[in-house]
Amino acid sequence: MRSAAKAIVPGGEAANSELTRYAALSARTQTAHLVIGGGLAGSMAAVRLATAGREVTLLERERSPHHKVCGEFLSREAVDYLADAGIDPLALGAQRIRSVRLTSRGRVIETRLPFTALSLSRATLDEAMLTRAAQAGCSVQRGAFVEGLTPRNGEWHAQLRGGDSCSSEAVFLASGKHDVRGLERKLGRHGDLVGFKLQWRLEPAQTEALRDFMELYLFPGGYGGLSLVEGEAATMCLVVRRAVLRDLGGWSELLQVVQDQNPHIAQRLNGATPLWERPLAVSSIPYGHLAGRSDGLWRIGDQAACIPSFTGDGMSIALHSASLAAEMYLAGQTADQYQQKLHAHLSRGMGLATALSRTMVSSIGRTLAPFGLSLFPSSMQWIADATRIPDRALHQSGKARVNAGNAAQSQPPSLL
């Protein structure tokens, strides 16, 4: 591997131009609808509400486009939701994914997808969604770090770093994997994992070998994914058990073990250049978290449900939960009714995905998975179908999204 270079956010200045026109919050702000978090879920909720003519303020903690720990796989459902919001990932440079390749130790298994998926960096996609929210009429505020959120006199009061505040009767909590102080989620049924993400510039031959594929790889104590995104960069995202990482010592040692234990990944990274000085990291990912009864907040995205990454359903769940919450709110229903409906949509798939994730990071799971999938290749499609959002639950836009044959097809495993 070559020496590291600084991280570059694709299209950063151009993507942010629409948003920089918005002034900072005044010391105390009142808004009809407050969205906390400018990821996919937050932006989608803001788009839905603003398009319906509602006053919306969105608070995003980061001041500029930024990367996130995410495998950046867009399933068919996610692409459909983005189309409903007026976003075309291909126009943003997304790469097509037509097959999945699973590797463990020296074994390699490939399967063709029943549809074409896409892969696009969160830095580019999230910024496009924030711009779309601003265009819809939402007031997007950058660099607004929410330190606390408390109920008082029938309203929620968000306290921002620096002393500003924002109050609203309707709050959509979309802070992703970052909890607001005092509103921390439970660890989840598989909450002992640490996530890493790093983008690479592969050698030309390895780039071509990866093209059209999402590669899933297993290693001792964890699993990960590798795929191309816009600009021919390769996104490497992985999760590892905290105890394994502690025993190894850190990222450098972990990366070496991944290559030592998985010759396929070692081949991919041979001669590769990391595009960032160091990887992004997130700890205590609450895989298996599924919010129960509501306290009046409309929790969306990872704040509502955090599904293990191998399912490939993370971004579609974020978009689905945001769309469902906005629609039910606009129809006069309560946050508790929304939470119960979302729980019904996701509980079966979440339970299965969490159990499988726990198995995948075990030694026996790493050994048996390639053999089992090679003997019963249809099991991969069954797992994917059983862990995705049920067809009956998916939002239907005004125009036909998919035909009946495509709707019955399963989603591939991936890393999100």
CATH of the domain at 326: 3.50.50.60
Asked if residue 114 belongs to a domain, the reply is yes
Residue range 338-367: mean pLDDT, rounded: 87
Going from the C-alpha of 79 to that of each of 230, 280, 415, the distances in angstroms are 16, 25, 16
Asked if residue 198 belongs to a domain, the reply is no
pLDDT for residue 25? 56
Q: What is the dihedral of CA 72, 313, 86, 335, to 10 degrees?
A: -130
- The residues, any chain, with a CB within 8 Å of residue 153's CB and separated by 6 or more, are none
Kind of pairing, strands 170-173 and 298-299? Answer: parallel
DSSP string, 255-310: HHHHHHH-HHHHHHHTT-EESSSS-EEEEEEEETEE--S-SS-EE-GGGTEE--GG
Secondary structure (3-state) at 143: coil
The tally of domains found in the chain comes to: 1
Report the half-sphere exposure of 345 (CA within 13 A, side-chain side). Answer: 26
Residue range 241-269: mean pLDDT, rounded: 96
- Pairwise CA distance, residues 185 & 198, whole Å: 26
Asked if residue 298 belongs to a domain, the reply is yes
Q: What angle separates helix 314-330 from helix 40-51, to the nearest 10 degrees?
A: 30
pLDDT for residue 27? 64
Q: How confident is the model at residue 18 (pLDDT cuts 50, 70, 90)?
A: very low
pLDDT for residue 356? 84
- Pairwise CA distance, residues 342 & 364, whole Å: 33
Asked if residue 91 belongs to a domain, the reply is yes
Mean pLDDT of the chain: 86
Asked if residue 88 belongs to a domain, the reply is yes
**Comparing C-alpha atoms, which of 250, 266, 125, 245 is closest to residue 200?**
266
pLDDT for residue 373? 61
Which residue range forms the structural domain that includes residue 28?
12-186+286-407
Fill in the DSSP letter of residue 99: E
Asked if residue 69 belongs to a domain, the reply is yes
Is the model's pLDDT at 367 over the cut of 80?
no
Higher confidence at residue 415 or residue 304?
304
Asked if residue 248 belongs to a domain, the reply is no
CB 16 within 8 A of CB 127: yes
Asked if residue 256 belongs to a domain, the reply is no
Is the model's pLDDT at 410 over the cut of 70?
no
